[in-house]
Amino acid sequence: MISLILLLFTSCNKELKLTQDKLNKEKKTVEDLQKKVGDMMKSTQEMEGQLAALTLETNGLKTENESFLELMAEKDIETGSLRDSINEKNKLLEGEITKKESLNQEIASLTQNLSEAMARITGLTNELNAAKTAPPSVAAVPAPTSAPPATGVAPSGPTAALSNPVIISAPPQTANSPNPLTTPDAGRAADLIIKVQLVAGGKNYPIPNCKLYVTEMKPQISKWGLYLKNPQVSINQLQAIQTSLKQSIIHKMATTNEGGEVTISGLEAGIYFISGAHPVTQNGVQWSKQHILKPGQNVLLLSNNDLQ
């Protein structure tokens, strides 16, 4: 009986020991899992910190990128303005060269005319002096008449040698009348008909209420379009444009009618710039075109091909 009890006790102790070992193993497994969870949480916190740092760095790069894009936009505008200024100066230079060539031709023509006139005057003076100093010829003296010829000059000395006397005098001039020797020929007066239109979808659309300026030099219109895009904040640009127009010497200013046309009269023949701008589109349109004005009636068409 006692042996049976001891056997049972021993068996129970063995089972308890096995159970205890199993519990210890499970406990160790749980501890290992808890350690792994702790390590994972620590790693997660570190990753969250790294992610926050990367987010801040990304936001900083995004801000720098936006600043860079704004700077690039400003540089593009400055580059465009500089390019427009260079193009305008080149066009002005071409216009001045054309003016100079035209003036040189006029000066050469006037010099030639003056030389011919001086030669004629010299020849007539020599003939007159020779007639005054030559002895009278009895056979050439005409029979006396009752009145001297109506030449406006009383005859004096031997005039028989001059069969066709020439009297050189300045054109008559009355008080307060223009001097015909200095007043420009009325034939050089010019009229200019300007038509402003845009072509879209194969159709012509006239632009009414478009202010046009006729100037001696091309105005700085590189910022005119910027004013049309945003007139509320670009009043300084408008003042710069107005100052440029005044410096370019405004000869005439006119506004197109409902049909997009306007007639400008009272101009002298020459080289002019016809400039204008209109907010007909979202970004606005602008022109500044050189035109050679000839005596009489002239017609100028401003369309898509002339936009700047």
Enumerate domains of the chain plus CATH numbers.
185-306 (2.60.40.10)
Q: What is the pLDDT of residue 256?
A: 95
E-only strand ranges, the chain: 189-200, 203-206, 211-215, 250-255, 261-268, 270-278, 285-293, 296-302
- Check: CB of residue 210 under 8 Å from CB of residue 258: no
CA-based max dimension of the chain: 203
Q: What is the pLDDT of residue 298?
A: 94
The residue with tokens 């860079």 is 68
The residue with tokens 């519990």 is 23
Q: What is the pLDDT of residue 179?
A: 39
Q: What is the pLDDT of residue 160?
A: 38
- Check: CB of residue 76 under 8 Å from CB of residue 82: no
Q: In angstroms, what CA-CA distances link 3 with 8, 9, 10, 11, 100?
A: 9, 10, 10, 12, 141
Strands 270-278 and 285-293: antiparallel
- Check: CB of residue 291 under 8 Å from CB of residue 298: yes
- Check: CB of residue 287 under 8 Å from CB of residue 276: yes
Q: How many CA atoms lie within 13 A of 290 on its CB side?
A: 16
Q: What is the pLDDT of residue 208?
A: 93
Q: What is the pLDDT of residue 227?
A: 64
> What are phi and psi for residue 220, nearest 5 degrees?
-80, 100
Angle at 300 between CA 294 and CA 305, to 5 degrees: 135
Q: What is the pLDDT of residue 153?
A: 40
**Residues of the chain where predicted confidence (pLDDT) is lower than 50:** 136-186
**C-alpha span between 196 and 288 (Å, rounded):** 12
**C-alpha span between 85 and 77 (Å, rounded):** 12
Take residue 302 and report the two structure tokens written for it.
């401003």
pLDDT tens string 173-227: 444 444 333 334 445 788 999 999 988 888 888 999 988 999 888 887 666 666 6
Count of Cβ atoms closer than 10 Å to residue 201 Cβ: 5
The residue with tokens 């050089």 is 188
**C-alpha span between 201 and 238 (Å, rounded):** 32
Take residue 203 and report the two structure tokens written for it.
């159709």
**C-alpha span between 148 and 203 (Å, rounded):** 77
- Check: CB of residue 198 under 8 Å from CB of residue 228: no
Q: What is the pLDDT of residue 115?
A: 76
Q: What is the pLDDT of residue 133?
A: 60
Beta bridge partners of 307: 287
Take residue 303 and report the two structure tokens written for it.
């369309």
